Amino acid sequence: MASAVCAPEIGLWYRDIQNRIFGVVAIDDDDTIEVQYYDGDVAEYDRETWDLLCMNIVAEPNDGLGPYENLNEEEVIFLNDNLQPVSWDNVVGDLDN
CATH number at residue 23: 2.30.30.30
Paired residues of 16 in beta bridges = 55
pLDDT at 32 over 90: yes
pLDDT of residue 3: 40
Cβ atoms of 10 and 24 closer than 8 Å: yes
Helices (H) and strands (E) in the chain, counts: 3, 6
Identify the domain containing residue 48 by its residue range.
2-96
- Whether the predicted pLDDT of 4 surpasses 80: no
Question: pLDDT tens digit string along 37-92?
Answer: 988 899 999 988 998 888 888 888 875 555 555 556 655 555 455 556 666 676 66
Spell out the residues 6+ positions from residue 12 whose beta carbon is closer than 8 angstroms to its own. Answer: 23, 24, 57
Average pLDDT over residues 14-38: 90
Q: How far is CA 86 from CA 9, 83, 91, in A?
A: 47, 9, 10
Q: Indicate if the pLDDT at residue 23 is higher than 60.
A: yes
In the chain, how many domains are there? Answer: 1
Q: What is the pLDDT of residue 25?
A: 93
Q: Are strands 21-27 and 55-58 parallel, antiparallel or unpaired?
A: unpaired
Amino acid at 72: N
